[in-house]
């Protein structure tokens, strides 16, 4: 039997879109989907665990990976390197497992250029007003910091049209449902299931009807 390949999903969304919460719910319900663990050089924040969402590595180690072409894509964000290790992505896809890259809009463009078959999804806040509320609702930041984040988020939203799908995160349950529908729908695509058709036809042939 020819195994179908896994699909590479790219998920992006600005700070305040609730992307982490939506993704967390999807992955809890679908443990068969693998999340890519990015290698990054920013310091570990409180509560973060090595190897859970990120591998925390030195600049030297990151630059070594760049030289060895060991990263599928990389980006500099606020002075730190962020990159997607290439080998785990290739291994998952070849083994028929779906993989999700949670990366920013720049990284998404780089992956799309190399792997046009990747399916990209942008998690969108329902409105500017809600985004503003979510960003300022985090607590202690002053108005200027909130405005800075808001500008950053709007810059990302401007590139949402480059994605295959938009999931609006107004109601969390509905957003999780939409994202799940995109992934399940992709699995049913003919390009991925063609081997099943071939199998049936092969079976019919072997029966000499």
Q: Which is nearer to ligand 5GP, 2 or 43 (CB)?
A: 43
Q: What value does the CA radius of gyration of the chain take, rounded to a whole number of Å?
A: 19
Q: Which is nearer to ligand 5GP, 155 or 185 (CB)?
A: 155
- Site size with ligand 5GP, rule: CB under 6 A: 13
Helix (H, G, I), strand (E, B) or coil at 109: helix
What's the min distance (Å) between Cβ of 171 and ligand 5GP? 22
Q: Which is nearer to ligand 5GP, 80 or 202 (CB)?
A: 80
For the sheet containing 99-102, what is the strand order?
34-35, 99-102, 8-12, 119-124, 165-168
Q: Which is nearer to ligand 5GP, 7 or 84 (CB)?
A: 84
The angle, 0 to 180 degrees and rounded to 10, between the axes of the packed helices 172-187 and 19-29 is 50
Query: In which residue are the tokens 């509560």 written?
Result: 47
Cα within 13 Å of Cα(97), Cβ side: 15
What's the min distance (Å) between Cβ of 148 and ligand 5GP? 14
Element (H, E) at 22: helix 19-29
What's the min distance (Å) between Cβ of 123 and ligand 5GP? 10
Instruction: Answer yes or no whether residue 38 interacts with ligand 5GP by CB under 6 A.
Output: yes
Q: In the range 40-99, which residues lie near ligand 5GP by CB under 6 A?
A: 42, 73, 75, 77, 82-84
Query: In which residue are the tokens 């042939």 written?
Result: 205
> How wide is the angle at C-alpha 119 spanned by C-alphas 130 and 22, nearest 5°?
35
Phi, psi of 4, deg, nearest 5: -75, 150
What's the min distance (Å) between Cβ of 103 and ligand 5GP? 4
Q: Which is nearer to ligand 5GP, 103 or 146 (CB)?
A: 103
Q: Which residue is nearest to ligand 5GP (CB)?
A: 107
Burial (Cβ within 10 Å: 0-12, 13-18, ≥19) of residue 132: middle
Site pattern 88..127 for ligand 5GP (x: CB under 6 A): --------------xxx-xx--------------------
- Residues lying near ligand 5GP in the complex (CB under 6 A): 38, 42, 73, 75, 77, 82-84, 102-104, 106-107
């Amino acid at each position: 039997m020819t195994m179908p390949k896994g699909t590479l999903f790219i998920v992006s969304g600005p700070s305040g879109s609730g992307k982490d919460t939506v993704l967390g719910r999807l992955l809890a319900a679908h443990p068969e989907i693998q999340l890519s663990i990015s290698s990054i050089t920013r310091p570990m924040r409180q509560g973060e665990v090595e190897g859970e969402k990120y591998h925390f590595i030195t600049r030297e180690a990151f630059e070594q990976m760049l030289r060895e072409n060991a990263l599928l894509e990389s980006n500099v964000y606020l002075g730190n390197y962020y990159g997607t290790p290439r080998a785990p992505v290739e291994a998952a896809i070849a083994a028929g497992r779906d993989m999700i890259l949670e990366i920013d809009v720049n990284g998404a463009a780089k992956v799309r250029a190399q792997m046009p078959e990747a399916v990209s999804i942008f998690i969108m806040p329902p409105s500017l007003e809600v985004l503003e509320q979510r960003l300022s609702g985090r607590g202690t930041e002053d108005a200027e910091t909130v405005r800075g984040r808001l500008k950053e988020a709007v810059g990302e939203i401007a590139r949402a049209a480059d994605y295959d799908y938009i999931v609006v995160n107004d109601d969390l349950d509905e957003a999780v449902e939409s994202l799940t529908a995109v992934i399940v729908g992709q699995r049913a695509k003919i390009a991925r299931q063609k081997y099943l058709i071939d199998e049936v036809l092969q079976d019919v042939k072997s029966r000499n009807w």
